[in-house]
Each structure stands twice: as C-alpha cells, then as structure tokens.
Amino acid sequence: MNGRANERIAVVLFNLGGPDRPESVKPFLFNLFNDPAIISLPNPFRWVLAKLISSRRERTAQAIYAEIGGRSPLREITETQAEALQAALGELGDVGVFVAMRYWHPRAAEMVARVKAFAPDRIVLLPLYPQYSTTTTGSSLLEWHYEAAKAGLTVATSGICCYPVEPDFIAGHVDALSAMLREAGDGPVRVLFSAHGLPKKVIAGGDPYQWQVEETAAAVVRGLDREGLDWKVCYQSRVGPLEWIGPSTDDEIRRAGESGTSLVIVPIAFVSEHSETLVELDIEYRELARKSGVPGYFRVPALNASETYVSALAGLVRRSLAGPAGIASQDGVRRCPADHGQCPLQAVSGALR
C-alpha cells in the first residue's frame, strides 16, 4: 500500500540547474562555487573566492553555452520529466510534482513556498542524480531542509538518496547502449561510461559517488549480456588545480586513437542533456577523437524522459511512500561499504526526520 487513501502527495525533483540566458552565467557560477559542498572554505573566504572564480570563468562558460543557443536546456527537460512522472503516478490520486534547481531558478526556497501552498500530506524528495554525492544530492537535500525549516514546512517527508542499480534505470541504459552498439558496427569498439569527475580529496573523505558510478556501469554491462565487451569507467569535466579521480575521459579517447578502436560514450551519471553532454561530449570530445585517430565516435543519448527512466522514478516514489518518513536508498537499506563515511544514511538522514 503506497500511503493512505486520499493523501495529497508532493514529489520534488532535484537537479543542478543552468543559466537561462547569457547574463545568467556569472550568477549561476557564483551560486555553484559559493556552495560549501563545492568549496569548503568558511565565509567570507568562500564568498570572495566564488566571486573571483565566477568572474574569471564567465567568458569561457558563455562560449560553452553559446554552442547550444546561449542557455541550458536543463530546466525544460526536467519539467518534461516532472510532467511525465506526474502522469505515471496518476493512480495515487492528488499528486503534484515540483522541480527544485540547486544553482539557478527555480531554487529550493521558491519550491518550498509552492509545496506549502499545495498543502500536501506527504512529501517525497527525489534527486535526478542516480549516484549519491555530497556535492549533488547531499547539497540539494540540505538546502531543502534549511528552506523548509525556515518556511515552517513540517509535513512528513521521505527522500531517496540514490538508485545506482534500480532495475528500470539500468534497463533504460541497456536499451540505449544496445542500439548504439548496433550502429557502431562490427569493428573493434570500446564502451566508455563517462561520469562527471570529483576531486580525489572528496572521495578520500568518504563520498560514495565513485563506488556507485562503478556499480551502475557494471550493472549495465551485466544487463547487456554481451560476451567480451570492452568497457571502462572514466570521468570528465575537470576544473581547477586539484587532483581529480580518473581515468579521465579525454585520456581514454586518446588511448582509443592509439589502438584504432571506435568508441561508444555513455553519460552514465547524467540523466538529462545539458552542457556536459551536448558540448563536452558531442563537440569537444568528438573533435578530440577525430584528432586522435579514433575511427568511430558514437554517443548514447541521456535518458531524459524515456519510458524506462520515468518508470524508475515512479517506482522509487511508490516505494518511498510505502515506508516511513526519512531518507532511504532505492531498496531501503544502506548500499555503500562501511568505509564510505559520507553515506547519506548516516550523514544526512537526520536532517529529514
């Protein structure tokens, strides 16, 4: 039984957000780098550094967004996902699905106000980050909790922290990758599961993101059931002087060129198209592959509002409603090994109870 009959249910989808016009790029970057989950310095030092970085990176970032029309498509895609999810949850009755972006509009404070006006009996917080990180889901959940407390929103709240091997999520990737492997043909081909990177110090501090990304990739490979598949997990989007987790996607592209191996790229941690897929993967890395001598370069689309991904989200909501208030993984138990001390089931769950 998924909750009580006649309940009003609010589902909040969390995503990164992105600038909606060229003038939004600098304040978007400031919001990103002023997040203590991204830069752990205390204020006023973090504020000053965020101002400096956003000013220095504004022109470069504007050039990136100019490649895709001067704006991020993330809000529109997320709203499409929200509409599809609301339709998929129709049997639950009065369900409202809301979109809260972390670094650009609509922000958590605005969505808290809208959810409060909706007057739900239950709230489900659902990140569009399948693999948990303190820098993504953790940051979004903490901001929501802060804004909800400030607004006096005290409704019973459940949350999904991660769903790295949720069956329908994996099935969506299997279907999309299978189609692209057929398009790639019969020659030597390697699958690169590319995820956004993180500084090594974040992972060393107990963040489970890398472990969960690798769990997702391995589950997709098992689902393919393709003997002898050549595949590897790699990481993109490095920024700044810190040492980042690897191997890097660009290094793996060069390595494929050296061996004359075609590539199929899977954005394994990105469920929606945005600058990292449409520019970094489709334009910058495609050109790197050409220059490196990669004979074929194929990119699997993000899941967006595909039937399998929406089904995965709907299943997560139903499971969350069937359980008590608080945060849980896709199957209600801690998934991360004990050495991942930033597992949200011990680091964040208390904020939601």
Looking at the DSSP bridge assignments, the partners of residue 191 are 231, 264
- Residues 215 and 293 reside in one and the same domain: yes
Q: Is 1 contained in some domain?
A: no
Looking at the DSSP bridge assignments, the partners of residue 193 are 233, 266
Q: Is 339 contained in some domain?
A: yes
Q: Is 331 contained in some domain?
A: yes
- Residues 147 and 220 reside in one and the same domain: no
- Residues 255 and 290 reside in one and the same domain: yes
Q: Is 3 contained in some domain?
A: no
pTM here?
Answer: 0.95
Q: Which of residues 299, 325, 343 is at a domain's end?
A: 299
Q: Which of residues 270, 299, 328 is at a domain's end?
A: 299
Contact 272, 77 (CB under 8 A): yes
CATH number at residue 135: 3.40.50.1400
- Residues 148 and 128 reside in one and the same domain: yes
- Residues 269 and 327 reside in one and the same domain: no
- Statement: residue 132 has pLDDT above 80: yes
Give per-residue pLDDT as tens, 148-182: 999 999 999 999 999 999 999 999 999 999 999 99
Q: Is 276 annotated as a binding residue?
A: yes
What dihedral angle (degrees, nearest 10) is formed by the CA atoms of 41, 42, 48, 51?
70
- Residues 319 and 261 reside in one and the same domain: no
Q: Is 43 contained in some domain?
A: yes
The arithmetic mean of pLDDT across residues 142-148, rounded, is: 97
- Residues 202 and 337 reside in one and the same domain: no
- Residues 215 and 285 reside in one and the same domain: yes
CA 229 to chain centre: 26
Q: Is 2 contained in some domain?
A: no
Say which range, 6-10, 246-250, 295-299, has the weakest mean pLDDT: 6-10
- Residues 262 and 333 reside in one and the same domain: no
- Statement: residue 287 has pLDDT above 50: yes
- Residues 72 and 147 reside in one and the same domain: yes
Q: Is 327 contained in some domain?
A: yes
pLDDT for 199? 96
Q: Is 13 helix (H, G, I), strand (E, B) or coil?
A: strand
- Statement: residue 347 has pLDDT above 50: no
Give per-residue pLDDT as tens, 1-59: 455 567 999 999 999 999 999 999 999 999 999 999 999 999 999 999 999 999 999 99
Helices (runs of H) and strands (runs of E) counted in the chain = 13, 9
The total number of structural domains in the chain stands at: 2
* The length of the chain, given as a count of residues: 353
Q: Which two tokens stand for residue 102?
A: 């972390």
Helix H or strand E encompassing 55: helix 45-66
Q: Which two tokens stand for residue 245?
A: 């987790």
- Residues 48 and 173 reside in one and the same domain: no
Residue 292 main-chain phi, psi, to 5 deg: -85, -5
CA atoms of 289 and 46, how far apart (whole Å): 37
In angstroms, the Cα distances linking 348 to 84, 97, 122, 152 are: 28, 23, 19, 20
Q: Is 237 contained in some domain?
A: yes
Contact partners, residue 353, CB within 8 Å, separation at least 6: 325, 326
Contact partners, residue 310, CB within 8 Å, separation at least 6: 81, 84, 85, 88
Q: Is 196 annotated as a binding residue?
A: yes
pLDDT for 6? 76
* Enclosing domain of residue 253: 167-299
What dihedral angle (degrees, nearest 10) is formed by the CA atoms of 231, 232, 233, 239?
-130
Residue 105 has what DSSP assignment? S
The dihedral region occupied by 3, where left means phi > 0, alpha psi between -120 and 50, and beta the remainder, is left
Contact partners, residue 139, CB within 8 Å, separation at least 6: 35, 37, 38, 102
- Residues 20 and 154 reside in one and the same domain: yes
* Beta-sheet strand order (sheet of 262-267): 230-236, 189-196, 262-267, 297-299
